[in-house]
Structure 1
Amino acid sequence: MRKFVFMLLMLWGIPSLANAQSAQPAVAIPVGVVAAERKSVTKSQDFVGRVEAVERVEVKARITGYLDKVTFKEGDLIKEGTPLYSIEKGLFEAAVGQAEGALEKDKAAKTLSEIQLQRAEELFAKGSGTQVARDQALAADETARGSLLIDEANLQTARINLGYTEIVSPIAGKVGRTSITKGNVVSPQTGPLTVIVSQDPMYVTFPVSQREFLRAQQSGKNVDVTGFKVSLLFADGSPYKHAGKINFIDVTVDRSTDTVLARASFPNPDFALIDGQLVRVGLEGGAPEEKIVVPQAALISDQEGVYVFVASDGKAAVRRIKPGAAVGSGVVAEQGLTAGEQVIVEGIQGLRPGVAVRPTLLPPTPDRS
């Protein structure tokens, strides 16, 4: 009987012991935190842009003839006036000689007509000649003068065509590949022989939505877009090291996209920007505003949106935020946080609301906002 009572007491004691163990406080999880702080933030926007050469020339033949030489190397950086192509000159030199001969012949005819006109006027003044004879001599002299003008124009045209046999670069820049080779007949209908694009500086054009323009107008401030800081990111995410400056806003809206085309100019001393290249354009400007900034490493997303964990009274708590623009490695929290709250950035894995945490304030680093 005593043994039975003892066993009952033991059974009753087991749940009491389990309850006692569960009542013990849970071990606090160590986490790293940073204080949500207010920073002076400049408004920024991202756009997709396209690199365009300031000067772009399609080189074409201006006369018809056999291509005698190709005098450049494809892809070379060339100066203005660099020879590119040479067209066979023989026929054009002959045309110049023919025009010169016609001019000399008509010069002699003009000399003769002047002499005949002078004699006819002298005879008419003495009463020995007739007015008809004088008028005929005057008309012949005027005809000779007209012939001279035609001959001089023909000679000038022939010399211009002879000059067109040497095709030179009208601008400085990089020359593309040649579309035609020596021995072929070229003409104005042949199309571009090659393309030359200037290199430094370069333009970047990007469309800006009407929404952004309306937002700027509703702010009631005169926005000087030329003072905006413009930056570039390449397709692989690497930044372009030179800053640009907006120098043109189009005067019309694209009806198909409801956007206005903006253009920025960038120095390109290393030729890193290539005509036609697709880039990401970052635009920063306007008066700085005080905003709460949190590290991107603290952001967590779910079906309801974006949130962060904060250490509050020794426990993890959720703060739903409205993320804004990126600021370095941080993000602006438009709503949901107050300055000074301890945002958890390390040890987030496995955290749940209400879990005990032991926060350690992390020192600020260049990579943590």
Structure 2
Amino acid sequence: MSKIESSFDKALAKLVQFKNAVKVRLCSVWQKQSPRFDALKRLDYPTVKSFVLQFKWRILLVLVVLYAGSKVYDYFFPASEKAGGPITVTSVVVEKKDIPLIIEATGTIVSNSIVDIRPMVTNTVAKVEVKDGQEVKAGDLLFTLDDRNDKANYEKLKALADDAQKQYLRAKELVAKNFISKAGLETSLANAKSAQAAARAAEVQLSFDYIRSPINGRAGIVNVFPGSLVQASNIVSTATSSTATSSVGSMVTITQLNPINVQFVIPEKDIPIMLENQLDGEAMTVKVVVGESGKKTYEGKVLVIDNQVDPSIAAVRVKAQIPNDDKTLLPGQFARVSLVANTLKDALAVPSQAVIINARGKMVYVIDKDGKAVSKPIKVVYEYQGLTVITGIEPGDRVVVEGKQNLRPGSKVREAKSPTPANTSGAPAPASSTATEKK
């Protein structure tokens, strides 16, 4: 215990010695510098004026050097690189616009009308009037079957019908002269009507030997030839090649190509948007691109939305009609469809890259009138191809697009270029575009 007390006393003695040495040193410095302070106290206006006039050019030169040095420093070390300097950003001015609500889908080109030509009777093909790929009109003769038997039967029954009609007319004259009874007249009338009905039935049977096109369209590949036996059944003919034997279900298929339809499916979540537009009486428009090249876009109108949802895919079928004047579209082709389901009126849209997602939700930086960044929480209504419709801001706000990663609320900003209106002209329009909320 005595050793610890002895060490403490020694340390305390050294601290006192150091304190006394500092006091002595400060006193000596004060004694040396005090005459100079006394000289400053004796300075007056004439002395200062005399000094300035004597060394005015030297003083002016020092001031010029100091000013030039400050400018050079600002040039090589701009304010933006110093702590607290403004941050360079790019912004857009938000304006109200009508934004089309676009839903994208994939579909298939289908014919507006397609007919498989099949025989109504069992007979032999006498003549083929149509060629492969020929354009035909409704009523054009396609095939002629062997009509000899049917024609003879029709002529026979037609003659009997004419004779029965004459017998009826003769009976009317005889009744007027009371040569026959009224019962005999009625029997003659019944015989005439029966004969005429039999003649009309024979005429219908004869018409089956002349197969005509029921629609306007293009004929496909003809599957029968003169002399082929056709039957009133699903299987019309059988073709044999060097590798296989196949049965064909129709004599020829007539397909209407202009106009033509496109059929696609729309997710269940987008059905209310389409139905709302349909209730307003407005025909929804579509833009269709066929093939990988996408050189041409076809525009058309929605014909029908199916009356039920397919539960296996949670989607509804939609059919639209598009023009096909050059007849380059064929049924079965793959198509990409952009459906304008609705229009958001007076919407506020910004580039999608302006939207910031963090733990608190979605927000954007808006530049206030003092040139400072202000964070505003937003709600995304619709997003499509780099364009996002949002709520939570006002028309005319300047929204930061580039440089937002360096911003904090209250940060000073400097515009890299003049702010321009947000490009909301369009989206169209693919990533599946979705309306997260109807405005």
TM-score range, shorter chain: 0.5 to 0.7
Q: Which residue of the other structure, out of 204, 215, 222, is the alignment partner of 1:178?
A: 222
Q: Distance in 1 between matches of 2:166 and 2:95?
A: 93
Q: Which residue of the other structure, out of 225, 247, 253, is the alignment partner of 1:195?
A: 253
Q: How much has 1:185 moved relative to structure 2?
A: 1.6
The higher radius of gyration belongs to: 2
- Structure 2 SS opposite 1:226: coil
Q: Distance in 2 between matches of 1:85 and 1:231?
A: 39
Aligned twin of 1:61: 119
Q: Which residue of the other structure, out of 164, 175, 178, is the alignment partner of 2:208?
A: 164
Aligned twin of 1:146: 190
Letter in 1 for 2:103: D
Unpaired segments ≥5 residues, structure 2? 1-80, 83-87, 237-248, 368-375, 408-413, 427-439
**Relative to structure 1, is the Cα distance of residues 290 and 281 closer, same or farther in structure 2, using a 3 angstrom cutoff?**
closer
**Deviation digits for residues 149-202 of structure 1, max 9, x if unmatched?**
222122222223323322222221222222333321223324532222223323
Please show how residues 276-287 of structure 1 align to structure 2 within 5 Å: 276-279=332-335, 280-287=337-344
Please show how residues 46-195 of structure 1 align to structure 2 within 5 Å: 46-48=103-105, 49-107=107-165, 110=168, 121=178, 138-189=182-233, 190=236, 191-195=249-253
RMSD: 5.1
Q: How much has 1:87 moved relative to structure 2?
A: 1.0
Q: Distance in 1 between matches of 2:419 and 2:219?
A: 53
Q: How much has 1:226 moved relative to structure 2?
A: 2.3
Q: Distance in 1 between matches of 2:425 and 2:267?
A: 32
Letter in 1 for 2:348: K
Q: How much has 1:295 moved relative to structure 2?
A: 6.6
Asked if the contact 2:286–2:300 (Cα under 8 Å) also holds between the matched residues in 1, the reply is yes
Letter in 1 for 2:351: V
Aligned twin of 1:45: 102
**Relative to structure 1, is the Cα distance of residues 34 and 60 closer, same or farther in structure 2, using a 3 angstrom cutoff?**
farther
Identical counterparts, % of pairs: 19
- Structure 2 SS opposite 1:100: helix
- The reply to whether residue 253 of structure 1 matches residue 269 of structure 2 is no
**Deviation digits for residues 291-321 of structure 1, max 9, x if unmatched?**
333277x9999xxx9999999xxxxxxx999
**Relative to structure 1, is the Cα distance of residues 44 and 111 closer, same or farther in structure 2, using a 3 angstrom cutoff?**
closer
Higher strand share: 1
Q: Distance in 2 between matches of 1:103 and 1:110?
A: 11
Please show how residues 256-275 of structure 1 align to structure 2 within 5 Å: 256=311, 259-275=315-331
Unpaired segments ≥5 residues, structure 1? 1-24, 123-133, 312-318, 346-350
Asked if the contact 2:382–2:390 (Cα under 8 Å) also holds between the matched residues in 1, the reply is no
Per the normalisation by structure 1, the TM-score is 0.64
Letter in 2 for 1:40: K
Q: Distance in 2 between matches of 1:177 and 1:322?
A: 57
Please show how residues 11-26 of structure 1 align to structure 2 within 5 Å: none
Q: Distance in 2 between matches of 1:72 and 1:32?
A: 71
Q: Distance in 1 between matches of 2:304 and 2:340?
A: 14
